Structure 1
Amino acid sequence: MKKLIIPFMLMLVLIISACGKESATQKENNSDASKEEKSEFITYQSETGPVEVPADPQRVILLSGFTGNVLQLGVNVVGVDVWSKNNPTFEKELKDVEEVSDENLEKIIELEPDLIIGLSNVKNLDKLKEIAPTVTYTWGKVDYLTQHVEIGKLLNKEKEAQAWVDDFKKRAETAGEEIRAKIGEDTTVTVIESYDKDLYVFGDNWARGTEILYQAMKLKMPEKVQKMALESGYYALSAEVLPEYAGDYIILSKYADADSSFQETETYKNIPAVKNGQVFEMTGNGASFSDPVTLEKQLAFFEESFLGN
């Protein structure tokens, strides 16, 4: 009997020990699963406070631009605003992406987004937050490069965003040095846009390539433009006074359906930049964006126009 009792006791100890190990392993597995579950979200410090957002968003909706920022970082987009959808710069990337608006909540729900991005003035913000984590930005609160880094933080791709910013800034500054060396340090450049029947000149932070030309490349704007448009960002003017704002070079942003009859007037034809062939026309459609995809396109345009690269 004693010989039988000893093995039985030994077996009982082994079973209890195994159960204990299994319980510990189960706890560890549960702990790992909990950590994995938590890691599926990150806390983004937005303008309005901390927001829990996906660590790896798969279905992003953009209601107010920032489309090129998200595309450049390789994140999937399922819905965009009408301006992004009609932007020829994104035509290929957004071919199969739905057009949405902050007023069509049903459409947004159908697309099952896991993240929504927009400007601070979007409508139905509270309802949007019920559909998916929603982050908004105040346009112009930070500069165009910092904005991309912020989008990078939101998408858990800050390193990638910062790397692009550093590289782009370096390339734009180098191009600026080459352009100034060619045209002269004091040579002025004016950015004009023809939209519908109106004409505008721009300061140094209103897209249309102004951030590149004036901030990164350090090209100069005429005093009249600086006085009227630098602080406000843009200034509307008539064709009759255009010569007063024209620099030695003109970047003319033209929308496809804009009234360009001003270019046929003697007033316009007698502007020195026009007479000297120093007007560079670029497509206005899409020029109002200042995201990485657009900026790369504009930088290439300026290098080709000024340097023939």
Structure 2
Amino acid sequence: MNKSNFIFCVILVLLSVIFVGCSNSERQASGKEQNKKTEPQTRIVSTIHGDIEIPADPKRIVVDAYLPTLLLLGEQPVGATDSDLENVHIQDLIAGIESTGENSVEAILNLTPDLIISADAEKSTFDKLSKIAPTVIIPYETYRDVHEEVRAIGEMLGKGKDAEDWLASFDSNIQKQRDRINEVIDENETVSIFGAFGKDFYLYGDGIYRGGQAIYKQLQLTPPERIKNELIDTGETFKQISYEVLADYAGDYIFLDESKGGSLDKKDNVWVSLDAVKNDHVFYLDLKRFWPYDPIAVLAQAEEVVDMLVAKKKSEK
């Protein structure tokens, strides 16, 4: 083969390789484009108002009550209520989120959402919001546990892996707090959550109120027998009681919420007779920190409760 023929053959081989490479690239690009076209653009969510079709990948979410859960899943809503945005546990995460007041229809409309998530179960609320965008109503107390809430909303938004990753971190952190508390609190020692709200008095269980989930469900602190029987075992998250029977529900440690003008008479015989009061085992809850009940707040509350109990035990040594 002379030199000219050899060069010609080499050029043919190179051209063939280039042609095959281009063909493969075109097929791959075509395949990716085809996959994009075949991926579902919407998903169906079962709600209290029946099946709702929502975007598979919403870009402009407006939310009421579930803002922290969306944030931990990596979603940044375009709008949220004032009460959501005032949550002290998420202040470093909310930059750029617009306020919708307390579900102002006009404010929500101006944000042009493609999905609305709300806890307001009033039929009139759904009727108004669903005219703006697909609306999913998840009523208050639908979820009684961090894992249930994060997984459910993660599944709804196609964020199942993000949900499991966050929960793994949550569980690890909670276990650290349990280990800390087990070093200072005996499992036979009991803990109560009391509340003075306006003129009324309340007990709280392991639900969404006053750190109940953090104290009982996550840290697994022991409630007095009557709180266990009358609230936790029955699924009740709170119970109004008369002041005179406080002693029947008092634990070795008391966490006390005083809000909306409510207060306990600290000189009253009923109060001063409690062992927790005599032993200075009463802890006052900051409503800004213990009224929120979202997953991020629950973790923060668990850490704060343990800090309070550990500090008290150290001071007694």
Q: Same fold (TM over 0.5)?
A: yes
**Structure 2 counterpart SS, 1:194:** strand
State the distance in 2 between where 1:127 and 1:147 align: 25
Aligned to 1:79: 79
**Are residues 40 and 131 of structure 1, via their aligned partners in 2, closer, same or farther at CA, if it must alter by over 3 Å?**
farther
Contact 1:73–1:161 (Cα < 8 Å) also in 2:
yes
The correspondence for 1:303, drawn from 276, 301, 306, is 306
Aligned amino acid, residue 192 of structure 2: T
Output the TM-score relative to the length of structure 2: 0.76
Cα RMSD after superposing both structures: 3.1
Cα deviation for residue 218 of structure 1 reads: 2.2
State the distance in 2 between where 1:282 and 1:202 align: 13
Cα deviation for residue 62 of structure 1 reads: 1.4
Q: Could you give the per-residue CA deviations for residues 34-84 of structure 1, whole angstroms, max 9, x where no partner exists?
A: 6436648341533333533241x3332112x11211122232223223432
**Are residues 52 and 270 of structure 1, via their aligned partners in 2, closer, same or farther at CA, if it must alter by over 3 Å?**
same
The correspondence for 1:268, drawn from 271, 282, 299, is 271
State the distance in 2 between where 1:177 and 1:258 align: 37
Contact 1:84–1:90 (Cα < 8 Å) also in 2:
no
Aligned to 2:125: 124
Contact 2:119–2:138 (Cα < 8 Å) also in 1:
yes
**Structure 1 counterpart SS, 2:79:** strand
Q: Structure 1: where are the runs of 5+ without partners? A: 1-24
The correspondence for 2:250, drawn from 228, 233, 246, is 246
**Are residues 155 and 263 of structure 1, via their aligned partners in 2, closer, same or farther at CA, if it must alter by over 3 Å?**
farther
Q: Could you give the per-residue CA deviations for residues 283-305 of structure 1, whole angstroms, max 9, x where no partner exists?
A: 12352332222112102202211
Aligned to 1:205: 207
Q: Structure 2: where are the runs of 5+ without partners? A: 1-25
Aligned amino acid, residue 294 of structure 1: A
State the distance in 1 between where 2:289 and 2:306 align: 19
Aligned to 2:237: 233
State the distance in 2 between where 1:275 and 1:165 align: 39
Contact 2:89–2:289 (Cα < 8 Å) also in 1:
yes
**Structure 1 counterpart SS, 2:285:** strand
State the distance in 2 between where 1:72 and 1:146 align: 14
Contact 1:188–1:249 (Cα < 8 Å) also in 2:
yes
**Are residues 237 and 218 of structure 1, via their aligned partners in 2, closer, same or farther at CA, if it must alter by over 3 Å?**
same
Output the TM-score relative to the length of structure 1: 0.78
Contact 1:46–1:136 (Cα < 8 Å) also in 2:
no
Kindly tell me the number of residue pairs found equivalent between the two proteins: 281
Q: Does 1:149 align with 2:151?
A: yes
Q: Could you give the per-residue CA deviations for residues 205-231 of structure 1, whole angstroms, max 9, x where no partner exists?
A: 234222222222222111222233332
Contact 1:254–1:285 (Cα < 8 Å) also in 2:
no
State the distance in 1 between where 2:68 and 2:272 align: 36
Which region of structure 1 is more displaced relative to structure 2, 216-225 or 138-147?
Answer: 138-147
Contact 2:52–2:134 (Cα < 8 Å) also in 1:
no
**Are residues 178 and 124 of structure 1, via their aligned partners in 2, closer, same or farther at CA, if it must alter by over 3 Å?**
closer
Aligned to 2:9: none
Aligned amino acid, residue 274 of structure 2: I
Contact 1:179–1:307 (Cα < 8 Å) also in 2:
yes
The correspondence for 1:162, drawn from 161, 164, 172, is 164
The residue correspondences of 1:1-309 to structure 2 (distance < 5 A) are 33=33, 35-36=35-36, 39=39, 41-47=41-47, 48-49=50-51, 51-55=53-57, 57-63=58-64, 65-91=65-91, 93-94=93-94, 97-102=98-103, 104-119=104-119, 121-122=121-122, 123-144=124-145, 145-230=147-232, 231=234, 232-255=236-259, 257-285=260-288, 287-308=290-311
Cα deviation for residue 126 of structure 1 reads: 3.5
